[in-house]
Structure 1
């Protein structure tokens, strides 16, 4: 991991820096670039604004690795309220959740109960189209139980989807099962610092693993089984490759998506949407915006300019 990224992760994990930044009246513009709002109402307003521009959203309540039962319940309530709001607005009831923010740090039984409740909220408020509860994928220590959670809830007929990381050695086998299941799958390259026994570590190898996974998810078999691929990427080469494979294998444009983070490469997001590609933005909301936002700076140092401009402007 580059030194710059390690520095930004250190800032993200610092409680004192987080408190200072989140209390600053100068950082509103910086937060707004990467975060959809400080509460569910602001997140919903941002999702409606995106829809007017032809972009969809997946809402995520900020927080991870939560062991406090009160905070877990607050997360569940926030997302439940957003599910209702999305349905009332006629938008996709599309939520993203980390298992570790919904009880996995206490027990996977507790997590399963909370996730199942949210999936039922999605089903009750959605219209049956692209309405889904997407399970985010965290570090490799929780890969197996997260996939088990997906398969359990899927077998119960709940509208769930799961994220897989292309760089893991196990992903080829996981995708084979998910394709056979006709799953909705979000594919990402993988960003955790995993050892070589768990994942490929070189950039070229990660790219090649992602291309192989694209081919699997856009295969004729996947299309026939009703798979819905979501390609989480900011790499224009990977998106172009997915477009090519989809066209060759006869996929309709409304049967797969490209997903990106709010605030990252907005001009390209618009370009893809104008070209007819279904684009969804990962839209986080909540009070704890600093750790998430500064990680985005770690991924692209150019984003540091937004920090300085926000502090200089004094805009909220």
Structure 2
């Protein structure tokens, strides 16, 4: 599996291959499986349609590992343009971002400044749309019914940036900004990281982890990764997590993990709107429909932009079965 992941990461970061694929009219059908639209307005329109179907969305601008200051600013501007569109459309102002998109490869100070700009814009847009809205971060005494799901979700990249990404989350949270963070259950350090986040009452997106990390840093056997995910779900749905105001987000396409999380929520007395499942746009639509029918809060990761090849091929890298799904969709079968 790690060799497959490495191969897909190589394809995602290969400039010549990316340029060739983006120039193929046939391969644009490939992008439609995972990408909401080429521009921000189209993506928000797609998210409005999804909301009518009972699915929330998280807006994400395509691009990662950005080393140009101009591209960093272009990313920030694209998201700043999307935030008021989300608010005026009556949607959650929920935006996902990779730290490497907004300046961390240039400096973490620049990244922090840009993340703060985005989080403040989210806060202000919701307050303008509904002055009585409350984010609830970090106030643990809030009524769960009143919690706004509008937030800046910090995506988690490879383990070299885990600590600075967590530091970024804590800085924004301590400034009372609407921020959430992603943690990867396969990393050995995650149990300690998650304990600190639970104590703070964080909104946490829990994913298994899709980078080819060495065994010294992460579980590499599938069974061990699954066990770690179950352990960390148990922490997110603990009584301590409820008391501090944790908002669990299960970022997974694994139905076994969804069922386990749902059982933990039921036993622990969590409200149906007190947690959610997050999936990628275009992946396992039948499962998505089933979750909606069951009344599970579902959010879809909704990317927009033109740099769709690196993103899409990384989705295949996460699970080889995604490749078969996409090929069948392109063939129309």
TM over 0.5: yes
Mean alpha-carbon deviation: is it higher for 18-27 or for 34-43?
A: 18-27
Is the CA contact 1:162–1:184 (under 8 Å) kept in the aligned structure 2? yes
| 2:59 aligned residue | 59
- For structure 1, the 5+ residue unaligned runs are none
Is the CA contact 1:27–1:307 (under 8 Å) kept in the aligned structure 2? no
| 1:303 aligned residue | 323
Please list every run of at least 4 consecutive aligned residues from structure 1 whose deviation after the TM superposition is greater than 6 angstroms. Answer: none
1:294, CA displacement in angstroms? 2.1
| 2:222 aligned residue | 203
Is the CA contact 1:297–1:304 (under 8 Å) kept in the aligned structure 2? no
Q: TM-score, normalised by structure 2?
A: 0.90
Cα pair distance change 1:305/1:238, threshold 3 Å: closer
1:6, CA displacement in angstroms? 3.8
| 1:143 aligned residue | 162
| 1:25 aligned residue | 25
Cα pair distance change 1:165/1:153, threshold 3 Å: same
| 2:142 aligned residue | none
Is the CA contact 2:12–2:314 (under 8 Å) kept in the aligned structure 1? yes
Mean alpha-carbon deviation: is it higher for 195-204 or for 227-236?
A: 195-204
- For structure 2, the 5+ residue unaligned runs are 127-132, 135-147
Deviation track 1:158-186 (CA, whole Å, cap 9, x = no partner) reads 00000011111111111111111110000
1:9, CA displacement in angstroms? 3.0
Rounded Cα–Cα distance in structure 1 between residues aligned with 2:267 and 2:76: 41
Rounded Cα–Cα distance in structure 2 between residues aligned with 1:203 and 1:161: 27
Tell me the secondary structure at the aligned position of residue 95 of structure 1: strand
Mean alpha-carbon deviation: is it higher for 126-135 or for 293-302?
A: 293-302
| 1:99 aligned residue | 99
Rounded Cα–Cα distance in structure 2 between residues aligned with 1:307 and 1:163: 29
1:3, CA displacement in angstroms? 4.4
Cα pair distance change 1:281/1:170, threshold 3 Å: same
Rounded Cα–Cα distance in structure 1 between residues aligned with 2:181 and 2:4: 30
| 1:44 aligned residue | 44
1:305, CA displacement in angstroms? 5.9
**Pairs within 5 Å for 1:263-302:** 263-298=282-317, 299-301=319-321
Deviation track 1:79-133 (CA, whole Å, cap 9, x = no partner) reads 0111110000000000000111101001111100000000001101125410000
Cα pair distance change 1:307/1:20, threshold 3 Å: farther
Cα pair distance change 1:122/1:142, threshold 3 Å: same
**Pairs within 5 Å for 1:96-245:** 96-126=96-126, 127-128=133-134, 129-245=148-264
RMSD: 1.6
Cα pair distance change 1:51/1:253, threshold 3 Å: same
Is the CA contact 2:154–2:181 (under 8 Å) kept in the aligned structure 1? yes
Rounded Cα–Cα distance in structure 2 between residues aligned with 1:78 and 1:123: 17
Mean alpha-carbon deviation: is it higher for 115-124 or for 12-21?
A: 12-21
Rounded Cα–Cα distance in structure 1 between residues aligned with 2:208 and 2:15: 29
Is the CA contact 2:122–2:152 (under 8 Å) kept in the aligned structure 1? yes
1:19, CA displacement in angstroms? 1.3
Rounded Cα–Cα distance in structure 2 between residues aligned with 1:140 and 1:205: 18
Is the CA contact 1:58–1:94 (under 8 Å) kept in the aligned structure 2? yes
Of 262, 267, 271, the match for 2:281: 262
| 2:141 aligned residue | none
Q: TM-score, normalised by structure 1?
A: 0.94
